[in-house]
Amino acid sequence: MIDTLLLLVSPLIALELRLDGQVDWQEYGLGLIQITFLFLIVKLAILFAFGFYKRCWRYADADELQQVAGLALSIVVLQTLLFTGLYLGQVGAIANLPRSLPILDGILSVLLVSSLHFSVRIIERSCQKRSRSFNRRDRVLVVGAGDAGVSLVREMQRHPHLQFHPVAFIDDDPAKLNLQICQTPVVGDRYTIPKYVRSLHIRKVVIAIPSLPGQVLREILEICNAVGVPTSTLPGIDHILNGQIRLSDVRDIQIEDLLRREPIQMDVQQVLSFLKGKRVLVTGAGGSIGSELCRQILKCCPAEIALVGHGENSVFLIQQELERTIQLFQESDHFLEQPLLGQPLPEQTPRLSAYIADIRFCDRLEYVFDQFRPNIVFHAAAHKHVPMMELNSPEAITNNIQGTKNLVDLALRFNVEAFVMISTDKAVNPTNIMGASKRVAEMLVLQAARVSQRRFVVVRFGNVLGSRGSVIPTFKQQIAAGGPVTVTHPEITRYFMTIPEAVQLVLQAAVVSKGGEVLMLNMGQCVKIVDLAKEIIRLSGYEVGKDIEIVFTGLRPGEKLFEELLIPGEQYEPTEHDKLVIVKNASRFIPGHLNPTVKALCEAAVRNEPDLIRFFLKQLVPGYHSQSPVPFTLPESIKLPAESSRAAAETSPTILQAASPHLSSAPPPRLANG
Same domain, 289 and 241: no
To the nearest 10 degrees (0 to 180), the angle between helices 499-512 and 268-275 is: 80
- Higher-scoring residue by pLDDT: 79, 406: 406
* β-sheet bridge partners, residue 75: none
Is 477 a member of any domain?
A: no
Same domain, 425 and 327: yes
What are the CA-CA distances from residue 507 to residues 2, 280, 421, 558, 578 (Å)? 61, 12, 11, 30, 14
pLDDT of residue 644 exceeding 50, the answer is no
Is 570 a member of any domain?
A: yes
Last residue of a domain, one of 131, 166, 188: 131
Same domain, 579 and 601: no
pTM: 0.64
Structural domain total, the chain: 4
- CA 134 remoteness from chain centre: 39
Same domain, 383 and 417: yes
Is 555 a member of any domain?
A: no
Same domain, 454 and 408: yes
Per-residue pLDDT, 22: 73
Cα separation, 293 vs 169, in Å, equals: 37
Is 486 a member of any domain?
A: no
3-state SS of 28-89 is HHHHHHHHHHHHHHHHHHHHHHCCHHHCCHHHCCHHHHHHHHHHHHHHHHHHHHHHHHHHHC
Same domain, 197 and 280: no
pLDDT of residue 387 exceeding 60, the answer is yes
Is 315 a member of any domain?
A: yes
Per-residue pLDDT, 219: 86
* Max CA separation in the chain (angstroms): 131
Q: What is the tens place of the pLDDT at every residue in 56-72?
A: 666 565 666 677 777 77
Q: What is the tens place of the pLDDT at every residue in 573-626?
A: 777 777 788 877 666 678 888 889 899 999 999 999 988 988 888 888 887 876
To the nearest 10 degrees (0 to 180), the angle between helices 25-49 and 101-132 is: 60
Last residue of a domain, one of 222, 240, 258: 258
First CA to last CA distance, the chain: 102
Same domain, 166 and 285: no
Is 340 a member of any domain?
A: yes
Same domain, 323 and 453: yes
Residues forming the active site = 426
| pLDDT band, very low/low/confident/very high, at 318 (cuts 50, 70, 90) | very high
Same domain, 188 and 116: no
Q: Read off the DSSP letter of residue 398.
A: I
- Domain of 574 in residue numbering reads as 268-465+496-524+564-589
Give mean pLDDT, residues 188-216: 85
Judged by average pLDDT, the poorest of 201-205, 233-237, 341-345 is 341-345
Who contacts 35 (Cβ-Cβ below 8 Å, separation ≥6)?
Answer: 11, 83, 86, 94, 97, 101
Q: What is the tens place of the pLDDT at every residue in 460-481?
A: 877 776 666 667 778 888 888 8
Same domain, 238 and 287: no
Cα separation, 286 vs 302, in Å, equals: 19
Same domain, 84 and 166: no
Same domain, 577 and 609: no
Judged by average pLDDT, the poorest of 29-33, 206-210, 245-249, 651-655 is 651-655
pLDDT of residue 399 exceeding 90, the answer is yes
